[in-house]
């Protein structure tokens, strides 16, 4: 069996194939899971195991007393195979996860840290590092423990964890200060404060997770297990009460046949595949390079009603570019250009750089800026700029912040400022007002570029009933224009960090489940409050701790895949449950006539499949029942294909395929198996 | 056929306004009738020491229901046991044996009206009117009150707008629901129907049995004693309240209970009108516009299929005469004045509605029609008993939502509230309880035929026993008859089944509703399962049929289905 994955990234190397070794492992595990303690966990398959033992006992007893024993023996073998197939399904899913874990563990082995204490280095094994230790990592070295950069910046190769070989930049004091054990520093030197206990690092947790060590049944899985157990009980009652009724009509039923009937009726197909489906769901998330901290989180993702998305980097390309200078209040455009250039020279943001580039391209030349102080952007002032050596100050920022700044120093606002701002904003660009302390000079248009394909993705989400809300610091006009272009359902303009939290709370108060993406430390409360908090791997440790999922690719649109994986997980369970129950109809029509036809000839009318004989009928039903489990393993691991669409369309499709198909398929399959049995062993 | 359609159309036409009226009564909407009923009701609340303004949680509602039932049950048992010491006993009927009195009390308390006695010979007028009729009035209204409480819970309770998440909700006041429903709905309707039946010749007197000379003395019998009494009022409550327990042993087959074609049609109408009205109550009561359409669609489809099969089956000749030249429809066990078609209609609706009154002997139905009556009772949610039928239907609705919810990739939600392990466990328990009770008792009775006293060998004997317990668990009350059922075994085992079929089946859904009520409610989106759609309706029918077929196919095959196959073969 060869599995391929759609992931473009490095993890597919670990996940992709079943080597003969992993298959051997899975087979070995399938037997190991026969141990009573492991078997008890799955009530449906436990009943089959008991049935195996009873029929084996009957065969042995018959053999000892010289009676025909072959039938009981064959039934026992088929039941045993059924149990093994179910165990194998779970073992295969686990083996895939273990393959991923093994390569992760390789990344962790032999890490050595250089601890910085009292001005001295000290080399010691990673396992001895404790939180709040400071380690120094230079180019070419591996980071020994999860932590946060407290000094310096570095480009880091995270391929060992993410599979992505392009280096990423990590820098102290930013929202991209988190580093992961096992990744390699490519350039520069950083000081890292360790944040994880030994054995509890991100990698450790990831390994534990994929190995299934922490796997607990998720809420929906638990509910389904309860229902399957109840159905098993019902069928046990049906089978146990059958002999007294049949006796009254003068029919005695062989215990072997009764056990065969029981096993055919109880939902072994879904019961056998249920654990594998859950593990496969986690694996699929991992293949998408998303680490969910619990299976529950993956499942919950399918229920999301509202997605909160940051505009920048998610909906639009991260970099806005300056496209136009608009002078206001009689100021000259060249003066505006120069001021904008001065205010942006030391601005490290892409926007700042694009302003410099545009101004220079239009012929502006910067004067000497020696002795001036750059004023960085802050979320509170929402302005940046420069204080020149001669005392002049230049600021650029949102209209409201500049207006407040200007008014606080008595600078009048030009009458045509608002018209210019509005025009730019309505076009979907961000107006950035430039002012000196004496005069408001004009507006820079920063154009936002909506990412390719997001509109289609939001349309898909809408079809699934998920509302998207764009969060942006932009003014309402700009936000509305971009929202319309990107096709989001709602937006939150001029948002401050605390507004996200408030929005999440208000959505939740209306009963909605909310997902959000975040990377900054100030996102942490919102990530924790959201039902699904997807933290970017590039983000701060605080953000990663607060969220319940981490995206190793740091791709905010990944949330969409996560929602689909969650839905697919539930759909696969539901579809196979329906299939399993629908199968029972045909099995009844195989076994009931086989039981009664000798005593009550009229029962032959129920034998719709015209099977070759009672013995073959029972065996054919049992063999189908056993073989359908391995036949469905690929589907369980891959998940039922999910096409976004309305709930009704989904239900109709799955009902037809798995419900109606589940009734019809076994009629054909059992008939074919019966033909084969009749050809091989004769009609019995 | 035209007659059948006319009755069904009339029933739906009457049920529609009646359903709106039921909703208004349950919601306590002000009306002109308040002038008459409010003073009466406040007297009753005063006597019961109930504050009609106070809401109850599911626990409170359940406790009140159980307490009132215990009290009424003991009262009824005492009345039946000691009727020889009580007034209104002109024919000197003796007291019932304790086990028969117990079975009778439980049977009427559970709105079942399974009768292991013949009323005309074994009950006094006091027992019939005070014991039987009062239970026939109250128990269906209790069932409807419970259904209303369950519905309130599914929509977050009466205090949904103000209560906090996790807080037990107000599911209504049991005493107020039952009092208002009885006074404003059931009694006025019963009065009308009783008068109509009296006009058709159903006895309505407190005089004792009449002794008359026979017209034709050549048979050797010259004198006949005809038991009479206040029959009409009982027949009205029996049919309106999905009760089914008649004055006379052979129930509505007796001319004194059912004298004319018009009375027959009127009784069929009464059997179905309130159960259907409950469905029409759904939308106005819950405010969910298309809920009635869903439930009516599912119930109506199943009802029509079951009806068509039943009528078709009885058009076929009885197997004993099938080969003869003029075989004709199956007339064995039927009143010739009603004929095969109308009797088949009655057999179908009386089992669909958990009524259980009969105008034909189900024992003598062709096996296919017998299968229909059994399947109707096993489902017990095609209309079903007043209130309890709807509650049973809601259980299927929730189970269907669970399966369908998974298939669309969302945690299943009932009107926006998540269906989780706790609720699924309770619902699963009900499914197990039904098969354990019906199949367990059937197997037990068949395993010990000497103790149980079965009367037929072979498949028909199995069918009789299976029918008896199915009817008891469904709280239907009809009998396959032919079973010597006045024994300790039948009285006591059937009593147990009756209790299991009533109280867990009403209270567990109430628990589920109480638990759902206090959950956070999610708004509906395009990703929400649209339950009021054809697709979901089909899912529900599939779930209902599948659960029933899978659980009971072997028992049916060993009974009526097997008989049918043997006759065919």
Catalytic residue annotation of A: 310
Task: Give every CB contact of residue A359 below 8 A, 6+ residues apart in sequence.
Answer: A322, A325, A337, A338, A340, A341, A344
Q: Where are the beta strands (DSSP E) in B324-451?
A: 413-414, 417-418
The predicted pLDDT at position A14 comes to 39
**In which element (H, E) is residue A194 found?**
strand A190-194
A66 touches chain B (CB under 8 A): no
Task: Give every CB contact of residue B236 below 8 A, 6+ residues apart in sequence.
Answer: B189, B190, B191, B192, B193, B194, B197, B270
Contact B409 A567 (CB under 8 A): yes
The predicted pLDDT at position A599 comes to 83
Taking the CA of residue B247 and the nearest CA in chain A, the distance in Å comes to 34
Asked whether the beta carbons of A236 and A49 are under 8 A apart, the reply is no
Beta pairing class for A134-137 and A383-387: unpaired
**In which element (H, E) is residue B213 found?**
strand B210-213
Asked whether the beta carbons of B405 and B411 are under 8 A apart, the reply is yes
Contacts of A512 in chain B (CB under 8 A): 522-523
Contact A230 B431 (CB under 8 A): yes
The full 3-state SS of A392-433, as one line of letters, equals: CEEEEECHHHHHHHHHHCCCCCCCCHHHHHHHHHHCCCEEEE
The predicted pLDDT at position B340 comes to 92
Contacts of B527 in chain A (CB under 8 A): 305, 464-466, 647
Contact B402 A568 (CB under 8 A): no
Taking the CA of residue A498 and the nearest CA in chain B, the distance in Å comes to 24
Contact A654 B403 (CB under 8 A): no
DSSP sequence for B424-466: HHHHHHHHHHHHHHHHHHHHHHHH-HHHHT----HHHHHHHHH
DSSP B477: -
| Residues comprising chain A, all counted | 684
The predicted pLDDT at position A322 comes to 87
Taking the CA of residue A347 and the nearest CA in chain B, the distance in Å comes to 44
Contacts of A303 in chain B (CB under 8 A): 410-411
Query: Cα–Cα distance between A396 and A394 in angstroms, integer?
Result: 7
DSSP A539: S
For chain B, the 3-state helix, strand and coil shares in percent, each to the nearest 5, are 65, 5, 30
- Chains A & B: contacts with CB separation below 8 Å: 220
Contacts of B405 in chain A (CB under 8 A): 570, 574
Contact A651 B458 (CB under 8 A): no
Task: Give every CB contact of residue A240 below 8 A, 6+ residues apart in sequence.
Answer: B443
Count CB atoms within 10 A of the CB of residue A679: 10
Query: Cα–Cα distance between B347 and A38 in angstroms, integer?
Result: 52
Nearest to A237 among B409, B436, B454 (CB): B436
User: B155, B319, B409, B456: which to substitute to probe chain A, counting the most A Cβ within 10 Å?
Assistant: B409
Query: Cα–Cα distance between B198 and B179 in angstroms, integer?
Result: 27
DSSP sequence for B214-228: -S-GGGS--EEEE--
Tens digit of each residue's pLDDT (9 = 90 or more) over B98-148: 999 999 999 999 999 999 998 888 999 999 999 999 999 999 999 999 999
Q: Would you state the torsion angle of the CA atoms of residues A32, A33, A34, A39, taken in this order, to the nearest 10 degrees?
A: 160
Query: Cα–Cα distance between A594 and B557 in angstroms, integer?
Result: 13
The predicted pLDDT at position B524 comes to 83
Q: Which of residues 516-575 of A touch B (CB under 8 A)?
A: 566-571, 573-575
Count CB atoms within 10 A of the CB of residue B188: 12
Query: Cα–Cα distance between B500 and A480 in angstroms, integer?
Result: 61
Alpha helices in A266-416 (DSSP H): 268-287, 295-301, 333-344, 350-361, 399-408
Contact A247 B551 (CB under 8 A): no
Q: Which of residues 573-632 of A touch B (CB under 8 A)?
A: 573-575, 577-578, 581-582, 584-585, 588, 592, 596, 600-606
The three-point CA angle B369-B111-B264 to 5° equals 50
Count CB atoms within 10 A of the CB of residue A180: 26
Q: Mean pLDDT for chain A?
A: 85
> Searching chain A, which residue's CA lies closest to the CA of residue B427?
A227
Beta pairing class for A549-551 and A290-292: antiparallel
**In which element (H, E) is residue A121 found?**
strand A120-125
The predicted pLDDT at position B569 comes to 62
A62 touches chain B (CB under 8 A): no
DSSP sequence for A250-310: T----HHHHHHHHHHHS-HHHHHHHHHHHHHHHHHHHHTTEEESSHHHHHHHTT--EEEEE
Contacts of B555 in chain A (CB under 8 A): 238, 241, 245
Task: Classify the phi-psi angles of B375: left when phi > 0, otherwise alpha if psi is within -120 to 50, otherwise beta.
Answer: alpha
> Searching chain B, which residue's CA lies closest to the CA of residue A652?
B535
User: A230, A235, A245: which to substitute to probe chain B, counting the most B Cβ within 10 Å?
Assistant: A245
Contacts of B421 in chain A (CB under 8 A): 219, 222-223, 226
The predicted pLDDT at position B219 comes to 78
DSSP three-state, residue A476 = helix
Beta pairing class for A178-179 and A490-492: unpaired
| Residues comprising chain B, all counted | 569
DSSP three-state, residue A515 = strand
Contact B536 A241 (CB under 8 A): no
Q: Rounded to an integer, what is the distance from CA B316 to the centroid of its chain?
A: 28
Q: Would you state the torsion angle of the CA atoms of residues B65, B68, B69, B75, taken in this order, to the nearest 10 degrees?
A: 180
Q: At what angle do helices A219-248 and B534-557 cross, to 10 degrees?
A: 30
Asked whether the beta carbons of B54 and B169 are under 8 A apart, the reply is no
User: A43, A216, A228, A248: which to substitute to probe chain B, counting the most B Cβ within 10 Å?
Assistant: A248
Nearest to B533 among A248, A510, A648 (CB): A648
Taking the CA of residue A458 and the nearest CA in chain B, the distance in Å comes to 13
DSSP B251: G
Count CB atoms within 10 A of the CB of residue A337: 25
DSSP A659: I
A244 touches chain B (CB under 8 A): yes
Taking the CA of residue A244 and the nearest CA in chain B, the distance in Å comes to 5
Query: Cα–Cα distance between B42 and B40 in angstroms, integer?
Result: 6
User: Which of A531, A567, A583, A576 shows the shortest CA–CA distance to A642?
Assistant: A567
The predicted pLDDT at position A19 comes to 66
Taking the CA of residue A582 and the nearest CA in chain B, the distance in Å comes to 8
Query: Cα–Cα distance between B548 and A112 in angstroms, integer?
Result: 66
> Searching chain B, which residue's CA lies closest to the CA of residue A305?
B525
Identify the bridge partners of residue A517 per DSSP, sorted by sequence position: A534
Query: Cα–Cα distance between A240 and A258 in angstroms, integer?
Result: 8
Nearest to A242 among B428, B526, B554 (CB): B554
- Report chain A (684 residues): mean pLDDT per 10 consecutive residues: 34 47 83 83 92 96 92 96 94 79 65 81 82 86 85 80 70 80 82 82 67 69 94 96 93 93 95 90 83 83 88 74 87 89 82 86 80 78 83 86 86 88 83 88 86 83 85 83 88 85 89 85 84 82 82 79 89 94 92 89 89 94 96 92 81 94 96 96 86
The predicted pLDDT at position A8 comes to 34
Count CB atoms within 10 A of the CB of residue B217: 10
Q: Report ipTM (2 d.p.).
A: 0.95
- b vs e for A423-440, b when ≥16 Cβ sit within 10 Å of the residue's Cβ? ebbebbbbbbbbbbbebb
Query: Cα–Cα distance between A282 and A276 in angstroms, integer?
Result: 10
Task: Give every CB contact of residue B162 below 8 A, 6+ residues apart in sequence.
Answer: none
Residue A574's alpha-carbon distances to A227, A276, A639, in angstroms, are 12, 14, 11
Residues in chain B, pLDDT under 70: 569
Beta pairing class for A134-137 and A430-436: unpaired
Contact B428 A652 (CB under 8 A): no
Task: Classify the phi-psi angles of B213: left when phi > 0, otherwise alpha if psi is within -120 to 50, otherwise beta.
Answer: beta
Query: Cα–Cα distance between A543 and A533 in angstroms, integer?
Result: 9
């Amino acid at each position: 069996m060869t599995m391929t994955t759609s992931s473009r990234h490095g993890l597919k190397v670990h996940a992709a194939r079943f080597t003969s070794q992993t298959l051997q492992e899975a087979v070995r595990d399938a037997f190991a899971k026969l141990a009573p303690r492991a078997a008890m966990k799955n009530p449906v398959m436990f009943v089959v195991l008991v049935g195996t033992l009873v029929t084996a006992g009957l065969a042995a007893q018959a053999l000892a007393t010289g009676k025909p024993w072959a039938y009981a023996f064959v039934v026992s073998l088929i039941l045993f195979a059924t149990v093994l197939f179910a165990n194998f399904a779970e073992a295969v899913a686990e083996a895939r996860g273990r393959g991923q874990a093994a390569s992760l563990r390789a990344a962790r082995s032999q890490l050595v840290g250089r601890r910085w204490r009292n001005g001295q280095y000290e080399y010691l094994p990673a396992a001895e590092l404790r939180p709040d230790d400071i380690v120094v990592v230079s180019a070419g070295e591996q980071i020994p423990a999860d932590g946060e950069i407290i000094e310096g910046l570095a480009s880091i190769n995270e391929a060992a964890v993410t599979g992505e070989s392009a280096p990423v930049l990590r820098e102290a004091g930013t929202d991209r200060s988190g580093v992961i054990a096992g990744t390699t520093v490519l350039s520069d030197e950083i000081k890292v404060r360790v944040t994880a206990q030994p054995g509890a690092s991100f990698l450790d947790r990831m390994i534990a997770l994929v190995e299934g060590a922490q796997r607990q049944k998720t809420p929906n899985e638990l509910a389904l297990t309860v229902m399957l157990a109840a159905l098993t009980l019902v069928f046990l009652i049906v089978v146990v009460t059958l002999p007294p009724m049949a006796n009254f009509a003068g029919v005695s039923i062989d215990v072997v046949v009764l056990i065969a009937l029981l096993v055919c009726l109880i939902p072994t197909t879904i019961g056998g595949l249920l654990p594998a489906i859950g593990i496969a769901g986690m694996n699929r998330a991992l293949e998408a390079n998303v680490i969910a901290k619990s299976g529950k989180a993956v499942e919950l993702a399918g229920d999301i009603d509202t997605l909160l998305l940051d505009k920048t980097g998610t909906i639009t390309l991260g970099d806005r570019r300056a496209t136009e200078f608009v002078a206001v209040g009689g100021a000259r455009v060249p003066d505006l250009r120069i001021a904008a250039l001065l205010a942006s020279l030391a601005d490290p943001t892409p926007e700042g750089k694009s302003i410099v580039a545009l101004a220079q391209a239009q012929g502006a030349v910067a004067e000497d800026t020696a002795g001036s102080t750059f004023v960085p952007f802050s979320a509170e002032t929402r302005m940046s700029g420069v204080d020149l050596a001669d005392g002049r100050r230049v600021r650029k920022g949102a209209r409201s912040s500049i207006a407040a700044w200007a008014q606080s120093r008595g600078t009048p606002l030009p009458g045509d400022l608002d018209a210019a701002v509005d025009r730019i904003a309505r076009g979907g660009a961000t107006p950035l007002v430039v002012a000196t302390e004496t005069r408001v000079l004009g507006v820079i248009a920063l154009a936002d570029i909506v990412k390719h394909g997001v509109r289609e993705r939001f349309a898909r989400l809408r079809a699934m009933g998920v509302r998207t809300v764009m969060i942006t610091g932009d003014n309402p006009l700009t936000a509305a224009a971009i929202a319309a272009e990107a096709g989001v359902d709602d937006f939150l303009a001029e948002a401050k960090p605390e507004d996200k939290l408030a929005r999440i709370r208000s959505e939740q108060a209306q009963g909605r489940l909310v997902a959000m993406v975040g990377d900054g430390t100030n996102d942490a409360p919102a990530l924790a409050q959201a039902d699904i908090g997807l933290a970017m791997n590039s983000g701060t440790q605080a953000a990663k701790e607060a969220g319940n999922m981490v995206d190793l690719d740091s791709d905010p649109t990944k949330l969409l895949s996560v929602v689909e994986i969650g839905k697919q997980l539930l759909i696969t369970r539901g579809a196979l449950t329906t299939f399993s129950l629908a199968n029972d109809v045909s099995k009844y029509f195989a076994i009931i006539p086989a039981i009664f036809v000798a005593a009550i000839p009229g029962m032959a009318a129920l034998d719709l499949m015209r099977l070759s004989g009672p013995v073959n009928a029972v065996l054919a039903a049992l063999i189908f029942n056993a073989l359908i489990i391995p036949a469905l393993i690929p589907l369980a691991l891959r998940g039922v294909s999910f096409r976004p669409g309305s709930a009704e369309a989904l239900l109709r499709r799955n009902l037809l395929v798995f419900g109606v198909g589940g009734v019809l398929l076994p009629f054909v399959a059992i008939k074919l198996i019966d033909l084969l049995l009749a050809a091989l062993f004769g009609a019995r | 056929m035209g007659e059948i359609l006319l009755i069904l159309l009339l029933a739906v036409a009457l049920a529609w306004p009646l359903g709106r009226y039921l909703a208004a009564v349950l919601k306590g909407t002000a009306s002109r009738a308040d002038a008459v009923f409010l003073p009466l009701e406040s007297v009753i609340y005063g006597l019961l020491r109930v504050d009609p303004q106070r809401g109850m949680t599911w626990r409170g509602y359940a406790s009140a229901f159980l307490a009132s039932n215990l009290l009424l049950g003991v009262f009824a048992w005492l009345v039946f046991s000691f009727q020889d010491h009580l007034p209104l006993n002109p024919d000197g009927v003796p007291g019932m044996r304790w086990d028969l009195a117990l079975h009778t009390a439980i049977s009427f308390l559970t709105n079942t009206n399974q009768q292991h006695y013949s009323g005309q010979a074994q009950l006094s007028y006091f027992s019939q009117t005070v014991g039987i009729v009062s239970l026939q009035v109250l128990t269906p209204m209790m069932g409807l009150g419970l259904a209303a409480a369950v519905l309130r819970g599914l929509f977050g309770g009466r205090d949904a707008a103000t209560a906090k998440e996790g807080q037990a909700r107000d599911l209504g006041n049991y005493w107020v629901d039952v009092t208002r429903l009885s006074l404003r709905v059931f009694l006025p309707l019963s009065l009308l129907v009783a008068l109509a039946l009296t006009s058709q010749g159903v006895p309505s007197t407190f005089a004792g049995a009449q002794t008359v000379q026979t017209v034709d003395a050549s048979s050797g019998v010259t004198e006949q004693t005809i038991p009479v009494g206040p029959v009409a009022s009982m027949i009205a409550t029996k049919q309106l309240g999905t009760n089914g327990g008649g004055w006379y042993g052979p129930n509505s087959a007796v001319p004194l209970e059912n004298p004319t074609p018009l009375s027959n049609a009127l009784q069929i109408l009464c059997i179905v009108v309130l159960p259907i009205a409950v469905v029409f109550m759904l939308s106005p009561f819950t405010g969910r516009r298309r809920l009635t359409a869903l439930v009516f669609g599912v119930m109506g489809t199943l009802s029509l299929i079951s009806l068509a099969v039943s009528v078709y089956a009885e058009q076929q000749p009885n197997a004993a005469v099938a080969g003869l030249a003029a075989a004709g429809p199956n007339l064995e066990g039927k009143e010739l004045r009603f004929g095969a078609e109308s009797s088949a209609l009655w057999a179908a609706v009386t089992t669909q509605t958990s009524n259980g009154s009969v105008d034909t002997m189900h024992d003598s139905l062709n096996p296919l029609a017998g299968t229909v009556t059994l399947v109707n009772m096993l489902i017990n949610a095609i209309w079903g008993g007043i209130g309890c039928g709807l509650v049973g239907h809601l259980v299927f609705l929730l189970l269907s939502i669970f399966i369908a919810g998974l298939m669309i990739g969302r945690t299943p939600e009932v009107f926006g509230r998540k269906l989780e392990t706790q609720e699924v466990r309770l619902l699963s328990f009900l499914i197990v309880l039904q098969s354990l009770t019906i199949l367990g008792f059937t197997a037990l009775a068949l395993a010990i035929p000497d103790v149980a006293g079965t009367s037929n060998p072979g498949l028909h004997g199995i069918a009789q026993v299976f029918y008896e317990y199915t009817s008891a668990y469904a709280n239907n009350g009809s009998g396959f008859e032919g079973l010597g059922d006045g024994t300790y075994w039948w009285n006591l085992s059937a009593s147990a089944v009756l209790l299991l079929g009533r109280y867990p089946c009403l209270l567990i859904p109430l628990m589920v509703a109480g638990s759902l009520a206090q959950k956070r409610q999610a708004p509906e989106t395009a990703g929400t399962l649209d339950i009021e759609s054809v697709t979901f309706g089909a899912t529900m029918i599939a779930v209902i049929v599948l659960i029933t077929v899978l659980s009971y196919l072997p028992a049916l095959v060993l009974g009526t289905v097997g008989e049918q196959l043997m006759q065919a073969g």
